[in-house]
Amino acid sequence: MGVDFAEKKARIMVYTRETTAEEYPDGLARSIHLAYSLDGKNYEAMNGNYGILFAKAVLSEEDTICPKGVRDPRVLSLPQGGFVIAAVRVNEDGSADGESEGKLLYWTTADFKEFKELGLLDCGQAELSGLPCVASLREASADSLTAFDGKLPEGAVAGNAVEVSRSLCDRAALCWSRLTSVGVRVPERIMARNAGDVEAVRAAVMYSDGSSALKQVKWETGGIDFNRPGTYRIGGTVINEQYTFPLACGYGDPVIFPWEGRYYFIATDDNRNDVGFYVRESEDVAGLFKEDTKQHLILALDEERGFVQTFWAPEFHVIGGELYILFAVSGTKWGPQCHLMKLKKGGSLTDPESWEDPVRIRRMDGRPLTEDGITLDMTYLKTGKRSYYIWSYRRNIGTALDTGSMLYIAAVDEAAPWQLASEPVLLSRPLYGWENVNHTINNEGPYAFTANDKIYLTYSGGAADGYTYALGLLTAPAGADLLDTGVWNKAGTPVLSYYSVEGEYGPGHNSFFTDAQGNLMIAYHAEDALDHHIRCDGIRRVHFTIQGEPVFDMSAQRDLDPALAGVEMEVVVG
**Region at 180 (left for phi over 0; alpha for psi -120 to 50; beta for the rest):** beta
pLDDT at residue 138 tops 70: no
CA distance 430 to 35: 26
Query: Residue 142's pLDDT is what?
Result: 47
Query: Residue 336's pLDDT is what?
Result: 98
How many Cα atoms are found within 13 Å in the side-chain-facing hemisphere of 477?
Answer: 6
C-alpha triplet 172, 177, 181: angle, nearest 5°: 120
Sheet containing strand 454-461, edge to edge, reads: 444-451, 454-461, 470-477, 489-490
Phi, psi (rounded to 5 degrees) for 455: -95, 130
pLDDT at residue 168 tops 50: yes
Query: Residue 128's pLDDT is what?
Result: 75
Peptide bond into 246 cis (omega under 30): yes
Query: Residue 129's pLDDT is what?
Result: 78
CA distance 466 to 506: 6
- Local structure of 354: helix, strand or coil: helix
- pLDDT per residue as tens digits for the range 425-471: 999 999 999 999 988 999 999 999 999 999 999 999 998 889 999 99
Task: Work out the pLDDT band at 136, boundaries 50, 70, 90.
Answer: low
C-alpha triplet 234, 236, 240: angle, nearest 5°: 170
**Region at 477 (left for phi over 0; alpha for psi -120 to 50; beta for the rest):** beta
- Local structure of 447: helix, strand or coil: strand
* Domains of the chain: residue spans and CATH: 9-175 (no CATH), 181-239+562-573 (2.60.40), 251-534 (2.115.10.20)
Query: Residue 144's pLDDT is what?
Result: 52
Looking at the DSSP assignment, which residues form a beta bridge with residue 190? 571
- pLDDT per residue as tens digits for the range 246-285: 999 999 999 999 999 999 999 999 999 999 999 999 999 9
- pLDDT per residue as tens digits for the range 93-105: 999 999 999 899 9
Q: Are 171 and 546 in contact (CB under 8 A)?
A: no
Q: Collect all residues with Cβ–Cβ distance below 8 Å to 113 and sequence separation of at least 6.
A: 171, 172, 175, 176
Q: Which of 96, 98, 97, 94 is nearest to 26 (CA)?
A: 94
Q: Collect all residues with Cβ–Cβ distance below 8 Å to 128 and sequence separation of at least 6.
A: none
- In percent, the amount of the chain with pLDDT more than 70 equals 96
Phi, psi (rounded to 5 degrees) for 24: -150, 85
Query: Residue 521's pLDDT is what?
Result: 99
Region 346-359: mean pLDDT is 98
Query: Residue 1's pLDDT is what?
Result: 46
Region 477-498: mean pLDDT is 98
CA distance 515 to 535: 23
CA distance 428 to 408: 7
Task: Work out the pLDDT band at 124, boundaries 50, 70, 90.
Answer: confident
Q: Which of 435, 409, 394, 408 is nearest to 57 (CA)?
A: 435
Query: Residue 140's pLDDT is what?
Result: 53
Burial of 81 (0-12, 13-18, 19+ CB in 10 A): exposed
What average pLDDT does the chain have?
A: 95
Q: Collect all residues with Cβ–Cβ distance below 8 Å to 518 and sequence separation of at least 6.
A: none
- pLDDT per residue as tens digits for the range 311-326: 999 999 999 999 999 9
CA distance 553 to 507: 10
- pLDDT per residue as tens digits for the range 43-57: 999 999 999 999 999
- pLDDT per residue as tens digits for the range 198-208: 999 999 999 99
Q: Which of 28, 125, 124 is nearest to 70 (CA)?
A: 28
- Local structure of 137: helix, strand or coil: helix
Q: How far is CA 383 from CA 361, 379, 421, 448, in A?
A: 21, 14, 15, 10
pLDDT at residue 141 tops 60: no
CA distance 368 to 331: 15
Query: Residue 131's pLDDT is what?
Result: 84
b/e per residue, 427-464, with b = 16+ CB within 10 A?
A: bbbbbbbbbbbbebbbbbbbbbbeeeebbbbbbbbbbb
Q: How far is CA 554 from CA 11, 375, 500, 559, in A?
A: 28, 32, 9, 6
Count Cβ atoms below 10 Å from residue 225 Cβ, excluding itself: 9
Q: How far is CA 480 from the centre of its chain?
A: 22
Give the DSSP per-residue string, 268-311: EEGGGTT-SEEEEEESSTGGGGSTT---EEEE--BGGGTB-EEE
